A and B are shown apart, each in its own frame.
Chain A
Amino acid sequence: MTLIMRLTASRGLLLALLPAAALLLLLLAPVARLAWEGLDGGLGSTAGLSVWQPWLDNYLRWRVVWSLAQAAITCALALGLGLPLAWVLARFEFAGRALVLRLLMLPFVVPSLVAALGVLALWGPRGVISGALGINLQDTPWLLLYGNLFFNLCLVVRAGVDALAQVNARQVAAARSLGASPWRAFWRVEWPAIAPWLMSSLCLVFLYCFAGFGLALVLGGQRYATVEVEIYTLVAYELQLGQASVLALWMLLLTGAVALAYAALEKRLAAPLRSLPMPRVRPQGAPQWLALGLALAVLFGICALPIVAIFIKAISALGTGATGLFGAEMLAALWNTLRFSALALLMATLLGVLHAFAAQASVAWRAAAFLPFVVSPVTVAFGLLLLYPSWTASLPLLLLAYAVLAYPFVAKALSAGLDSLPVHLGRAARTLGASPWRCFWRVTLPLLRPALRRGMAFAAATALGEFAVTLFLSRPEWATLTTLIYQRLGRPGQANLDAAMVLACVLMALALAVFLLIDWPAPPLGPTHDPRRASGLSSPNRTAPYA
């Protein structure tokens, strides 16, 4: 029981009404409609579609297999690179370590389209590196894999650092005193302790890569695009709604299976006991300094270089006078991005707060906050398109879809914040004369503020960078920065690519502002209440933003 007033089941139900209605009408019903279309064999189909078609048709089978393969390869790369990086960051003390850990959050707030442009700026046609080396990575899988790593390496490294911080130093010392070398102690004591956390983060990585849209759309090209891109192409360009719904049904099944594996792992991850953490040491000797330098270089190369490349490209584009950048089109897109995000954030905050408080009375309801993470934005948008055909060009529906995709960040952060509030504080306030409402106002709310702010910041970042739903449900006059970037990318010529880079730079600046909002130093709340922990986003068993 937490600091908040005891929630009865009926009170919890009342609080849950609004988020439950949102989940039902904007997520579950569209998904059910889509599943029905998929099973039914297809809207507008003339070929008598089978639900097995993605496995019978060579072209579609390649899309599904490649989608699975690129997610699996990314997982392997993220683990192979992420574990040593996490170990170095968890065990070595060095100047700027706290800053590096904080910067690991950066990719979480970068819109996927900006990341895609970052990869193009580095490795695309006339990219900063590819241009210098004279290589061309277009139409290879490397661009997409690099983009996937940009987002997900940080997720695995953060999970690893947090998990390694929970390894009990006494257990490692016991293993060493029993004759284990440092390497054997790692494999026999540290690895078993951290493996479940890493596996849990890899489930998320797989989910994000498999169901990702923006990166695959821009970086996959014709051959290496994923199922999500195929669904979009079938709906938007080929009007093959039946085939698209069969594919979407398979996506639902496969993402659902991974989500179940994730949930099973989460269940096994009990809250860690208070343990003596391993002390961090300054690197000793050349090999350790080399390891640290190498780790930081890899992190910079994968997670920061694409952002730097966008800035370089944007500045050079501005130097050459990229055409029509500051005209009415861009200002309108900027204005749309800001107002849509602000409205979506308001709704997401309301839904998230209600969901989090209701979740205090029900474990099942707490798990329901994970639903919008499981269903990909493309599936949601396509389902909405099928279920509410007459409202597809309606702004409220678009904004509600934004809010439903963004609100789990608020709900999860706040739930974790509520969990970490010591029960005695509320009781002390009550015995000192505070009514339940005053107790909430003077004790609970101030202590929850860091978690709420962090959840809201991630929700804002999600809304700012939202792309898939906007492509499906938006009208031309509602173009946001993401859709404008995509439009510019679709037009031929260097000037349009330059314009896209500058627009991405503007979007990146907005995302950075959000990032600063997240990690803006708040007054610390002491060892009894760590706001980073309370946010639920630093811990490896929590959901990270959709990449």
Chain B
Amino acid sequence: MLELRHIHQRYANLPLLQDINLQVAAGDIVALLGPSGSGKSTLLNIVAGLQAADAGSVWWDGQDITHLAPERRRFALMFQDFALFPHLNVLDNVAFGLVEQKVPKSEARNRALQMLGVFGLTELARRRVWNLSGGEQQRVALARALITEPRVLLLDEPFSALDADLRVALRQEFRSRIQAAGMVTLLVTHDEAEAREMADRSVRLLAGRLQPVD
């Protein structure tokens, strides 16, 4: 279980996050709603370990991991712009995390190829990432995030870079893949329809505080 306890964060001397408390159990998808600038992405960065909170702690299965380096948390973060590595092809992008786990390169590539097969992207394996469509880039980013079997999947506006039709079409696909992987998932979005369709429950970040959404 992922737990956030009393997270506080200030930005430009103004309170951005105030006493944030949240629990997400394994297999749950929680949507974090809120307008632009409300601190959603900051909270995600704090959970990922990319940013230290001014106060509060992050817990995993009863252990305080607040000061654990991001690479040791096994929390995969998928960015709004997908953050695919432009110097690597699709296959090596997906294999990146496995190589960091000391999996031999050839085996990492084989497993990445299998993962691409699951996502229907096998024929794109050798392509450069900027030659892909938005939907393909998004699938590659999700495959890259899931291949290391992370404990937590953090999604930062994963559909915002896509056009409206594709966004709707991919939501269901995403949900089923994430559910199949069965991990804690925190989805940041400003789109209520997206939150309803993707998540088991939603919370809203407003004026720095978390509020449940009915």
Residues of A within 8 A of B (CB): 422, 424-425, 427-435, 438, 442-443, 446-447, 523-529
- Contacts A431-B50, A435-B71: A422 and B83 contacting too (C-beta < 8 A)? yes
Q: Are B79 and A424 in contact (CB under 8 A)?
A: yes
Q: Are A447 and B86 in contact (CB under 8 A)?
A: yes
Q: Are A526 and B79 in contact (CB under 8 A)?
A: no
Partner of B96, one of A422, A442, A447, A525: A442
- 1/0 contact trace for B107-140 toward A, CB 8 Å? 0000000000000000000001110000000000
Contact partners of A429 in chain B: CB under 8 A: 85, 96, 100
Sampled A-B contacts (5; CB under 8 Å): A429-B85, A430-B50, A435-B69, A443-B85, A443-B87
Q: Are B79 and A528 in contact (CB under 8 A)?
A: no
Q: Are B86 and A526 in contact (CB under 8 A)?
A: yes
Residues of B within 8 A of A (CB): 45, 48-50, 69-77, 79, 81, 83, 85-87, 96-97, 99-101, 128-130, 144-145, 148, 154
Q: Are B70 and A431 in contact (CB under 8 A)?
A: yes
The 4 closest A-B pairs by CB, nearest first: A526-B130, A433-B100, A424-B83, A432-B97
Q: Are B75 and A434 in contact (CB under 8 A)?
A: no
- Contacts A438-B100, A447-B86: A432 and B81 contacting too (C-beta < 8 A)? no
What's the minimum C-beta distance from A20 to chain B, rounded to whole angstroms?
30
Docked pose: A530 CA to B49 CA in angstroms = 30
Q: Are B83 and A529 in contact (CB under 8 A)?
A: no
- Contacts A425-B85, A443-B85: A526 and B76 contacting too (C-beta < 8 A)? no
Docked pose: A433 CA to B180 CA in angstroms = 22
Query: Nearest CB to that of B81 among chain A residues?
Result: A424
Report which residue of A428, A429, A435, A525 has the largest number of chain B beta carbons within 10 angstroms of its beta carbon. A428
Contact partners of B148 in chain A: CB under 8 A: 432-433
Docked pose: A427 CA to B75 CA in angstroms = 12
Contact partners of A526 in chain B: CB under 8 A: 86, 128-130
Contact partners of B73 in chain A: CB under 8 A: 431
Q: Are B74 and A433 in contact (CB under 8 A)?
A: yes
Partner of B83, one of A427, A435, A447: A427
What's the minimum C-beta distance from A454 to chain B, rounded to whole angstroms?
16
Contact partners of B144 in chain A: CB under 8 A: 432
Q: Are A422 and B81 in contact (CB under 8 A)?
A: yes
Contact partners of B100 in chain A: CB under 8 A: 429, 432-434, 438
What's the minimum C-beta distance from B8 to chain A, rounded to whole angstroms?
21
Report which residue of A422, A430, A443 has the largest number of chain B beta carbons within 10 angstroms of its beta carbon. A430
Docked pose: A425 CA to B82 CA in angstroms = 9
Q: Are B77 and A431 in contact (CB under 8 A)?
A: yes
Contact partners of B96 in chain A: CB under 8 A: 429, 432, 434, 442
Contact partners of B77 in chain A: CB under 8 A: 427-428, 431
Contact partners of A525 in chain B: CB under 8 A: 86-87
Docked pose: A6 CA to B69 CA in angstroms = 14
Query: Nearest CB to that of B130 among chain A residues?
Result: A526
- Contacts A432-B100, A433-B148, A434-B71: A529 and B86 contacting too (C-beta < 8 A)? yes
Contact partners of B74 in chain A: CB under 8 A: 433
Query: Nearest CB to that of B51 among chain A residues?
Result: A427
Partner of A431, one of B76, B85, B128, B130: B76
Query: Nearest CB to that of A430 among chain B residues?
Result: B70
What's the minimum C-beta distance from A450 to chain B, rounded to whole angstroms?
10
Docked pose: A523 CA to B45 CA in angstroms = 32
Docked pose: A529 CA to B70 CA in angstroms = 25
What's the minimum C-beta distance from A256 to chain B, rounded to whole angstroms?
37
Contact partners of B49 in chain A: CB under 8 A: 430-431
Contact partners of B130 in chain A: CB under 8 A: 526-528
Docked pose: A97 CA to B146 CA in angstroms = 45
Q: Are B86 and A431 in contact (CB under 8 A)?
A: no
Contact partners of A422 in chain B: CB under 8 A: 81, 83
Q: Are B86 and A428 in contact (CB under 8 A)?
A: no
What's the minimum C-beta distance from B150 to chain A, rounded to whole angstroms?
8
Docked pose: A520 CA to B72 CA in angstroms = 39
What's the minimum C-beta distance from A417 to chain B, rounded to whole angstroms?
13
Contact partners of A434 in chain B: CB under 8 A: 71, 96, 100
Given contacts A427-B83, A429-B100, 11 further A-B contacts (CB under 8 A): A427-B48, A427-B70, A429-B85, A430-B49, A431-B50, A433-B97, A433-B148, A434-B71, A438-B71, A443-B87, A529-B86
Docked pose: A424 CA to B72 CA in angstroms = 18
Docked pose: A428 CA to B71 CA in angstroms = 10
- Contacts A422-B81, A425-B83, A447-B86: A432 and B76 contacting too (C-beta < 8 A)? yes
Docked pose: A447 CA to B85 CA in angstroms = 9
What's the minimum C-beta distance from B92 to chain A, rounded to whole angstroms?
10
